[in-house]
Chain A
């Protein structure tokens, strides 16, 4: 294998390793060069890899699940679902590709997306019929092609599923008071994330899976069943769960055996002796791991990929994550090196192949959702490395570095990477991380152990579990394999709450153009409770008091709706396969959707933190402290969308007004107030699957969606502009409100109590490349991150690409089709994003020197 490296060094014009400890290759070897990997095989595979999430619709899964349900009409929902996954795993088409060393997919060809009718089939069929699924002006990216045959086969299933979906049940559980402010109404909050797909958002306990293997899991289920006393009704329920679990388990074993058989057949007809040998080994790997614990790094990695694919096949959930990869894989790495089973280079090549396999997977999304979540692919396959182990020691090892190198070598958007840092993190890892970030692809994100672990303890997570936390999906820390976290289940636009708080519960743009006019405004009603009118308020305390009451009210509505969705999942879509691999479900005899695993949360986010903070600050300063305008004048200006109030618009957007993000206590304290208010009415409220709610403080990209629904706001935002992103400062069409540079941002943002947002926080930084250039720039950047960590900021992500480059890419997408940038929570090909989102990224303040 060192021949490969020599070959690369000889042929490559790319820079050689740039750090002394990078003995073989550094991230510098890749940068933005063609053929970025040192492995010719990987470069060959990359050549055939689509740099897009456009795909096609596959009908097989939907048909097989439907057949399973029809074949077992009298069975309980759990058992029907178990037959569903079993049918798919045993019958869906499988694919093996040239050069590849890992197998596994979603039961269709690369970039294909299966359909999950359990969460609604009508929208899929309607979009196909109305031209909203394929390429059109409405859908210029993330579009899905389909054949006439596919459409016909799916159309034939329409009646079977109509009226039996999660959404149908949710509608029956709540009333209009709950829905009026939701995604179905005025969009104060959204709870639709899990109405049209599975909850996802979890990782597995890979160590448990490695220890037991699928055969061991089967035995565990059988042992539990043997103890059942059917005369006890509680045990009878558990018995039914075990029946379902056994069916699903059998399906998973057979699925892997199918691959083994197919690989062996392929090997038999392959002439090239090298490839023949590889295929034979892959067949042997699959055959063994179909029932037994893996023995080598290759087998373990193969099992990880297949297990995650099967979860995605069962349920269309987002953010099925890869846990702490460098922890659970390290024993295999060490074993292989020590026994000479594999070299470091061979394992590096496997990891790189594995990344591309993840990127090849795809998920069907509606034309609306891809506007704000563009280029996501399956979305959220996060892999975590580094950090403290269960004894509190830093566990960084070779694999930690190899995971970062692999990203530099393949540069595909998935998997997402998270590096955990603490006081104990070695400086070499910080340099490796900084250098990877400086490539500009937006990977990896940085998570702070010193905040996250204590934060998890407040959610009653055990210390040794908390120390092994993974980053799930975009932002959310949890214990892989032991948490059904319902992270990202919903989100609340705090800026809209402020609007209702200063306008007596009425929307500022109330009028006949509103879809709810007939039911609401026309009848003299208001969207929210009457809690005060800024024009009549005599002190700023009244503003805060009104905000508090509105926040309480809207949090109640959101929690109600999320619990309804939760109940619908339990009734309609139990997850028997997932339940076999999540900790505790078999022991308890309870499906994961019903709270079978150890930790059960629901995590909705607060949106528009900066917009809300700046709004409060503007009101306090201009109306009450300086009395430059009256409350009426300010409300009028916003109602008029600032037209005719230009000087006030400019003033509100200028640095003459206290703004969040400038290390200015005046605005920062009010922003903290807003965040605390949201957390207060979310945290520790009971949820429907046996756990409780956890607040988060990040937007990913829904700040664009919420902004699209909201009229102008007092912070100087015009109508329908995005609200502020994540924990970041405000940037409006007029200008950015943070003007004091990165140190001020670091200090402002860390005045918030990140640990209180137990579902996670996020700060997106954007640097111009020159701000982090050279050794001086690199070390200053590391110092800035260290300080953010020391000040108890939880999580940071970075975009290091100039505004100029982004604008050029927007104008000339063909030339910039490989430009990978950080969106929020994830990285994506910039030109594949919707223009609104592109503009939002361009608008974020670029930190310059």
Chain B
């Protein structure tokens, strides 16, 4: 999907830009979170990145209410038809009728206290490159660079391909991409052309199970990963291990076989990530519900022990470079 601004310039829709990221690629990195994702994993910890267009997040605890403030209503061009409503005059609970909002976001600009927040801001290529460049002295010191992720950055693949190319050719910055990689192969090729390290997720090796979990089958994903490996991409594979969902030894062995057979020497590391219940607050702000709200995972000590056991199993049976978590140094 390609986005443009009012001047017709291509833009990226970005939910967040994190400086000093150290776990998504080597060294100190600046990470751009692109909006839009084709998967629907129930444990998603960045739900604000799922839908491909900007969304307003509502944080009632930071709202001072209509009587004390009401600055959002004053700025809304729809006047009396404003989709912003309060339960009653002194109630502090703002609600947005999302279907009626025309998306000018003036209310967000007017809000003084963070009661309204815009998820998904537009950035032109020049703005993105300026942001990418501002911490380059830190990249140079640590072998870092930029990471594009999301959501799924492939949802905005044209912009991403151009951006990574410019990072390489104009700025000479190391690039890294994290993607769900559910996309046509030629899109992937366009982005990989300027990607120094790719981070791919494999959540389940069985396609039917994958579909049940994430809403889509996994054939295309696995084909794309195998293709990326074949053309020599350096690859980190990540598997979020969610007890009761995808933590069976069978599934882990299946992923391991795939990695051994289809990625082989292109693998830099396979990371088993611990499940954490995050994203609830963000979903709340978007007026949506967390799908796993009733789910109680085992204790973090037990989860850690499980990951270590799986790691030991895989490394002894398959001889694959596998790590628990993402805070170790990536092997060169």
User: Are B141's CB and A783's CB within 8 A?
Assistant: yes
Most buried by B among A650, A656, A847, A849: A650
A743 to B28, CA, bound (A): 10
Interface of A is mostly: helix
Of B41-49, B130-138, B194-202, B214-222, the stretch lying at the interface with chain A is B130-138
Residues 826-849 of A contacting B (Cβ, < 8 Å)? 847, 849
Residues 771-830 of A contacting B (Cβ, < 8 Å)? 773-777, 779-780, 783-784, 786-787, 790
Which chain B residues border A647 with CB–CB below 8 Å?
Answer: 64, 68-69, 71, 112-113
User: Contact mask B1-36 → A, CB, 8 Å, 1/0?
Assistant: 000000000000000001111110001100000000
User: Are B64's CB and A740's CB within 8 A?
Assistant: no
* A654, CB-defined interface residue at 8 Å: yes
| Distance of B280 from chain A, by nearest CB (Å) | 18
A774 to B71, CA, bound (A): 46
A518 to B113, CA, bound (A): 41
A774 to B327, CA, bound (A): 5
A740 to B, closest residue via Cβ: B19
Which chain A residues border B325 with CB–CB below 8 Å?
Answer: 774
Which chain A residues border B64 with CB–CB below 8 Å?
Answer: 646-647, 650
* B254, CB-defined interface residue at 8 Å: no
Which chain B residues border A742 with CB–CB below 8 Å?
Answer: 19-20
Residues 721-769 of A contacting B (Cβ, < 8 Å)? 740-744
User: Are A773's CB and B327's CB within 8 A?
Assistant: yes
User: Are A776's CB and B328's CB within 8 A?
Assistant: yes
A741 to B135, CA, bound (A): 12
| Distance of A666 from chain B, by nearest CB (Å) | 15
Which interface class (under 10, 10 to 19, 20 to 34, 35 or more) fits A?
A: 20 to 34
A741 to B17, CA, bound (A): 11
Most buried by A among B19, B20, B113, B137: B20
Which interface class (under 10, 10 to 19, 20 to 34, 35 or more) fits B?
A: 20 to 34
* A4, CB-defined interface residue at 8 Å: no
User: Are B19's CB and A743's CB within 8 A?
Assistant: yes
Which of these, A648, A776, A783, contacts B329 with CB under 8 Å? A776
Residues 97-126 of B contacting A (Cβ, < 8 Å)? 109, 112-114
User: Are A849's CB and B23's CB within 8 A?
Assistant: yes
Which chain A residues border B330 with CB–CB below 8 Å?
Answer: 776
| Distance of A422 from chain B, by nearest CB (Å) | 16
Known: A654-B114, A775-B328. A780 touches B28 (CB 8 A): yes
* B142, CB-defined interface residue at 8 Å: yes
Known: A647-B71, A743-B135, A849-B23. A779 touches B329 (CB 8 A): yes
Which of these, A656, A740, A780, contacts B142 with CB under 8 Å? A780
User: Contact mask A611-648 → B, CB, 8 Å, 1/0?
Assistant: 00000000000000000000000000000000000111
A677 to B295, CA, bound (A): 58
A790 to B, closest residue via Cβ: B137
Which chain B residues border A651 with CB–CB below 8 Å?
Answer: 112-113
* A715, CB-defined interface residue at 8 Å: no
User: Are B112's CB and A741's CB within 8 A?
Assistant: no
A784 to B137, CA, bound (A): 10
User: Are A787's CB and B141's CB within 8 A?
Assistant: yes
User: Are A741's CB and B19's CB within 8 A?
Assistant: yes
A696 to B326, CA, bound (A): 41
Most buried by B among A663, A742, A847, A849: A849
Which chain A residues border B71 with CB–CB below 8 Å?
Answer: 647
A-B contact count (CB 8 A): 80
Known: A646-B68, A647-B68, A773-B327. A780 touches B22 (CB 8 A): yes
Most buried by B among A647, A740, A777, A790: A647
Which chain B residues border A654 with CB–CB below 8 Å?
Answer: 112-114
A300 to B114, CA, bound (A): 61
User: Are B327's CB and A787's CB within 8 A?
Assistant: no
Known: A654-B114, A743-B135, A787-B141. A775 touches B329 (CB 8 A): yes
User: Are A774's CB and B328's CB within 8 A?
Assistant: yes
| Distance of B76 from chain A, by nearest CB (Å) | 16
A744 to B112, CA, bound (A): 23
Which chain A residues border B109 with CB–CB below 8 Å?
Answer: 656
A742 to B326, CA, bound (A): 20
A646 to B71, CA, bound (A): 12
User: Are B113's CB and A780's CB within 8 A?
Assistant: no
User: Are B328's CB and A741's CB within 8 A?
Assistant: no
User: Are B141's CB and A646's CB within 8 A?
Assistant: no
A775 to B325, CA, bound (A): 12
Known: A783-B142, A787-B141, A790-B137. A776 touches B112 (CB 8 A): no
Which of these, B28, B69, B135, B137, contacts A646 with CB under 8 Å? B69
User: Are A784's CB and B68's CB within 8 A?
Assistant: no
User: Are A777's CB and B327's CB within 8 A?
Assistant: yes
A849 to B29, CA, bound (A): 11
Residues 122-166 of B contacting A (Cβ, < 8 Å)? 134-135, 137-138, 141-142
| Distance of A266 from chain B, by nearest CB (Å) | 52
Known: A647-B71, A743-B135. A777 touches B22 (CB 8 A): yes
B112 to A, closest residue via Cβ: A651
User: Are A787's CB and B112's CB within 8 A?
Assistant: no
Most buried by B among A741, A742, A780: A780
Residues 131-159 of A contacting B (Cβ, < 8 Å)? none
A784 to B144, CA, bound (A): 12
A657 to B, closest residue via Cβ: B112
| Distance of B217 from chain A, by nearest CB (Å) | 33
Which of these, A650, A656, A790, A849, contacts B20 with CB under 8 Å? A849
User: Contact mask B51-72 → A, CB, 8 Å, 1/0?
Assistant: 0000000000010100011010
| Distance of A751 from chain B, by nearest CB (Å) | 13
A656 to B114, CA, bound (A): 10
User: Are A780's CB and B114's CB within 8 A?
Assistant: no
User: Are B134's CB and A648's CB within 8 A?
Assistant: no
User: Are B18's CB and A741's CB within 8 A?
Assistant: yes
Which of these, A656, A774, A784, A847, contacts B28 with CB under 8 Å? A784
A773 to B142, CA, bound (A): 16
Other than the given A646-B64, A744-B19, 14 more pairs (CB < 8 A) read: A647-B71, A647-B113, A650-B62, A654-B113, A663-B134, A742-B19, A743-B135, A743-B138, A779-B142, A780-B27, A780-B28, A784-B20, A784-B138, A787-B137
A-B interface, 8 closest residue pairs, ranked by CB to CB distance from nearest: A774-B327, A650-B113, A651-B112, A650-B112, A647-B69, A780-B22, A775-B329, A783-B142
Q: List 5 A-B contacts (CB under 8 A).
A: A647-B71, A654-B113, A656-B109, A743-B28, A784-B138
